[in-house]
Amino acid sequence: MDADTKLEAGSANEPNRLKYSGRNFWSGFLFGLGMIAFIDEMVFHQLLRWHHFYDRSTMDVGLISDGLFHAFSWFATIGGLFMYADLRRRRAVWLTRWWGSVLLGAGIFQLYDGLIQHKVFRIHQIRYVENVIVYDIIWNTAAVIMILGGVYLLRRVQKSVKREEGRS
């Protein structure tokens, strides 16, 4: 048994882990999506005040949109954590799969934000400066790195499961 198929913290047996593989994925995905949205809201909307979720109207509309965005991020984060708690209770946590989906969820949300919300819908920019392309490149590169890291971890889990199935 290699490192990827060894039982991880909070996991009692491999059949439980395999049975709840999908729940491990969606728990991590929701947590990653919600957490990166929360970080975006806290850092770029509130602390730095670079933009609001919706910048094409008044300041009041921008603040209301930030509140709705903040609520969405917390619903996703808390939903993912409730699913994680259920996995712990069932002793079915699969940390490599969970962390892979956390990175994937965070990266997909950030790439969606950077491409669709910033460039296609133009509901806001990362920062309103002359050379916004620098911010866009950094933002989207970070998203791609998270996606690639998540895909790498998820593929590693998938390959190790296939190897184990071949041995049995």
In tens digits, what is the pLDDT along the chain, a chain of 168 residues?
444 445 454 444 678 888 999 999 999 999 999 999 999 888 887 888 877 777 677 778 878 888 888 899 999 999 999 999 999 999 999 999 999 999 999 999 999 999 998 889 888 887 888 998 999 999 999 999 999 999 999 999 998 888 766 776
Q: Are 127 and 121 in contact (CB under 8 A)?
A: no
What are 68's two structure tokens? 């709705």
Beta bridge partners of 92: 11
Is 168 within a domain? no
Is 5 within a domain? no
Residue 25 lies in a domain: yes
Tell me the C-alpha to C-alpha distance, in Å, between residue 53 and each of 26, 103, 165.
Answer: 25, 22, 46
Quickly list H helices, 5-131: 14-19, 21-40, 59-89, 95-112
**In a domain? residue 110:** yes
- Could you tell me if residue 2 is inside a domain? no
Range of the domain at 104: 14-163
> How many domains are contained in the chain?
1
Domain assignment present for residue 138? The answer is yes
Contact 9, 96 (CB under 8 A): no
Whether residue 48 is contained in a domain is answered as yes
- Model pTM score: 0.86
The number of beta carbons lying within 10 Å of the beta carbon of residue 75 is 13
